[in-house]
Structure 1
Amino acid sequence: MSSATGHGTGDIAVGSLLLASPALLDPNFVDTVVLLLDVNDEGALGVVLNRPSALPVSEVLGEWGDVVDEPEVLFQGGPVSTDGALAVALASPDGLDSAGFKAMWGRIGLLDLDTPRELVDGTVDRLRIFAGYAGWGAGQLQAEVAEGSWYVVPGLVDDVFAGEVPDLRRQVLRRQPGDLAMHATRPADPELN
């Protein structure tokens, strides 16, 4: 796994969060918080944590709707492969080696939704399902961080399964050291201040 350091921020690594800076104007990522799930020499992959849809998981994936954390909806994980789903799970302490689970960062990993649900019962403490993902080619994310489009900060398990989804970006910014915390109170349009 390779890593790079952004301007006064953390390493680009699995488990890191990307916080969209005010300079990032791409509508797919304005005000987003992205959890990095894979980082290597070929690029990076993550999911947007703070874009819940209105579509209940149970309408698309049946019984998985009974397992996901609140809100029990699909999340818009990013603009790539939006017809597919990634299930991000927190394995129970005894569930790290369970069928269909691939650890990515601590007890956080991806759960294969083709795994029979009865094999998953008791092995997953928390679950969130994302339609699509965010992806970057080799060197692309590092270049975006260097140009100031993203703040890179350490992630916490609670960020992945946050209950207050709309306020997640501000919450993560508030706990950062130094000047970065001030961005939590920055208005969307500073000229309206």
Structure 2
Amino acid sequence: MAREARAGMLLVASPALLDPNFADTVILLLDADEDGALGVVLNRPTPVPVAEVLADWSPVVAEPEVLFQGGPVSTEGALAVAHLAAGAGEEPLGYRAVTASLGLVDLDTPVELLAEHLDALRIFAGYAGWGAGQLDDEIAEGSWYVVPAHDADVFREETTELRREVMRRQPGELAWHSTRPADPDLN
């Protein structure tokens, strides 16, 4: 049951994916087209408080108020994903929609211009990126499950069980993978 990898979907690492950058990860795709794909890892919080690196944004960041390791590309940079508040009206300055309710925030925008328009914000150091056709190849070889995202997946306070819970809510046989051991031969 292959789904199209597109912005707003989740990539869930399969047990076949052994790359330590991505083993057991859940990635929110922020952009995906014929030129490549970009996303952020949702379940790798760091011990670094947002207040230490982007103090102005600290009051609007969802718990836990730490940076998340978004992926191995451009780890010195930061991406911010936000949930747009209900009734926010037209897209605020410094915000670019990814889905109807999730978008990217330009961290150079003064926080005062955006804070009232956002319900939640999470900041990621780095991101995951794929060149043209690369992600499609990885999906075809069984490295990733492509599944629908829930907005709450992005802003969970506790991320340890995110992968298992995302898989558990999938239909049919895909849900069975939520309890599969890393090496079924050891079962």
TM (norm. structure 2) is 0.96
**How far 1:96 moved relative to its partner?**
4.4
Counterpart Cα distance in 2 of 1:185 and 1:9: 20
Residue equivalent to 1:18? 11
**How far 1:151 moved relative to its partner?**
0.5
Runs (4+) of structure 1 exceeding 6 A deviation are none
Q: Given that residues 12 and 152 in structure 1 are in contact (C-alpha distance below 8 angstroms), is that contact kept between their aligned partners in structure 2?
A: yes
Give the 3 Å change call, closer, same or farther, for CA 116–39 of structure 1 in structure 2: same
What secondary structure is seen at the aligned counterpart in 2 of 1:82?
A: strand
The answer to whether residue 30 in structure 2 is matched with residue 40 in structure 1 is no
RMSD: 1.1
Residue equivalent to 1:186? 180
The answer to whether residue 73 in structure 2 is matched with residue 84 in structure 1 is no
1:67-96 CA distance string (max 9 Å, x none) = 100111000000000000000001113154
Counterpart Cα distance in 1 of 2:166 and 2:8: 14
Q: Work out which of the residue numbers 106, 111, 126 in structure 2 matches 1:117.
A: 111
Q: Given that residues 86 and 110 in structure 1 are in contact (C-alpha distance below 8 angstroms), is that contact kept between their aligned partners in structure 2?
A: yes
In structure 2, list runs of 5 or more residues that go unmatched.
none
**How far 1:116 moved relative to its partner?**
0.7
What secondary structure is seen at the aligned counterpart in 2 of 1:55?
A: strand
The answer to whether residue 134 in structure 2 is matched with residue 140 in structure 1 is yes
Counterpart Cα distance in 2 of 1:56 and 1:95: 31
Identity across the alignment (%): 64
Counterpart Cα distance in 1 of 2:172 and 2:112: 47
TM (norm. structure 1) is 0.93
